[in-house]
Every structure is written in C-alpha cells, then in structure tokens.
Amino acid sequence: MLALLAASLLASTPVDLELHAAASALVSADLYALAAARDAPVSERLLLAGGATVGLGAAKELLWDRGLGMGDPSWKDFGADLVGTAAGLALSLAIDWVLDLPK
C-alpha cells in the first residue's frame, strides 16, 4: 500500500510534497538515532521515531493547517509525510545493519 501511495505522489511532485517527505525523513532518522544512542532495542527505535514523526505530520495538517487556518490540510501532504518517515526509518535500519549496531 505504501508503494502505491509513493507512486501516486511521484506522478506529480510539487515542491511542497518534496519538503514534507524530506522533513519527515530527517525527523524520523534523527529520532531513531537518538533512541539508538540510548541503547533502545530496534523495535523501540522504530516505534518511537515512526510514531512521533507520523504524529507530527498529522498535527501539522490538523492543528496548524485546519485548526489555525494557516494552510490547506491535504491528504497528499500527509501521504508524503508517511513516505518520508518510511524512507528515514529504512535508511536508519540500513546504517544499523552496515555498522552491525542492532541489539
């Protein structure tokens, strides 16, 4: 399902969607790294980083855009957040695997 979402987003990628995906990738990778620095198990790293990043994306769309009227809430923006989160977590897992860090 994530692949279908990514494919539909890639069909037309305005700068806003790219920014959503990039920001979510950076946030999820950073949170994963913070959890890794505290020696959290891989499952906890993924849950913390993924959950917090998706939560931030949802809050941005619901609270900032819709609630405060500071923008237009968009499912495409949130979809780009999900794609970026998955990319950030995949990159983090790959780095862990290369460095043989998972516990």
- Alpha-carbon gap, residue 2 to 87, rounded angstroms: 11
- Alpha-carbon gap, residue 27 to 46, rounded angstroms: 12
- Alpha-carbon gap, residue 95 to 85, rounded angstroms: 15
**If you ran DSSP here, which 8-state letter would residue 46 be given?**
H
Confidence of residue 32 (pLDDT cuts 50, 70, 90): very high
Nearest to residue 5, comparing CAs of 103, 75, 69, 60? 75
Each residue of 61-90: pLDDT tens digit? Answer: 999 888 787 778 889 999 999 999 999 999
Structure confidence at residue 91 (pLDDT)? 97
Instruction: State the average pLDDT for the chain.
Output: 87
Asked whether the predicted pLDDT for residue 17 surpasses 80, the reply is yes
5-28 b/e with 16+ CB inside 10 Å = b? Answer: bbeebeeeeeeebeebbebbbebb
Nearest to residue 88, comparing CAs of 45, 42, 31, 28? 28
Asked whether the predicted pLDDT for residue 55 surpasses 70, the reply is yes
Structure confidence at residue 94 (pLDDT)? 95
